[in-house]
Chain A
Amino acid sequence: KAGVTQTPRYLIKTRGQQVTLSCSPISGHRSVSWYQQTPGQGLQFLFEYFSETQRNKGNFPGRFSGRQFSNSRSEMNVSTLELGDSALYLCASSWATGSGNTIYFGEGSWLTVV
């Protein structure tokens, strides 16, 4: 079955703009989480959604937001982009939100802010 799919894979935005990234989880998975990966900060947890509800949030400013739809697809939005938002954004899905569930990752969306 298909894995976690993220779109777009690559994008370039200008400072001050906003961006929306999309994630389609593995079929049947209801939990979606997002991570930011940068050379300086490494991999950092952004947030997790389960059944359209945000269950957990990392330490990021309010410019970072997300949502989940009834089909479990998720989007994350970053408003008023800053140069430091340039990163690989990884989406991950699991069957449920319990700790025993394996988390599967997509290939990520590369965001460059210029």
Chain B
Amino acid sequence: AQTVTQSQPEMSVQEAETVTLSCTYDTSESDYYLFWYKQPPSRQMILVIRQEAYKQQNATENRFSVNFQKAAKSFSLKISDSQLGDAAMYFCAYRSALTGTASKLTFGTGTRLQVTL
């Protein structure tokens, strides 16, 4: 079974600064997808960024980028120019590419990000 670990329960960043959230995962599969979801106080999970394991290039979405290290099974999220609206719980998630298990997301325990003025 796959596991996802987020070792930082809480992080804090000043507005306009950069912060990196860590995520490691364990899997014996070679083809899979990794995601970062944001959960604000409304509790709706919002997709921030996704990475296909077969792609070597790190995904980027505006101020959000990832550092995907497949051999190390590491998938960190970098938020640049942090904004107050970035304050939320961030979850790292894994999805297998195998048919039959494809829609199941395995989540980490989350990192609460605070953004200060």
Binding site for B on A (CB under 8 A): 31, 33, 35, 37, 42-43, 45, 48, 50, 55-56, 58, 88, 90, 92, 94, 97-108
In the complex, the answer to whether A56 meets B104 with C-beta atoms within 8 Å is: yes
| A-contact bits for B77-95, CB 8 A (1 contact / 0 none) | 0000000000000010001
In the complex, the answer to whether B103 meets A104 with C-beta atoms within 8 Å is: no
In the complex, the answer to whether B104 meets A105 with C-beta atoms within 8 Å is: no
For the complex, give the distance between the alpha carbons of A102 and B96 in Å. Answer: 13
Provide 20 A-B residue pairs closer than 8 Å at the C-beta atoms, listed in order of the A residue.
A33-B103, A33-B105, A42-B108, A45-B104, A45-B105, A48-B103, A48-B104, A50-B103, A55-B100, A56-B101, A58-B104, A97-B103, A99-B95, A99-B98, A103-B47, A104-B47, A105-B37, A105-B46, A108-B43, A108-B44
Binding site for A on B (CB under 8 A): 32-33, 37, 42-47, 50, 91, 95-110
For the complex, give the distance between the alpha carbons of A10 and B100 in Å. Answer: 32
In the complex, the answer to whether A92 meets B104 with C-beta atoms within 8 Å is: no
For the complex, give the distance between the alpha carbons of A25 and B42 in Å. Answer: 18
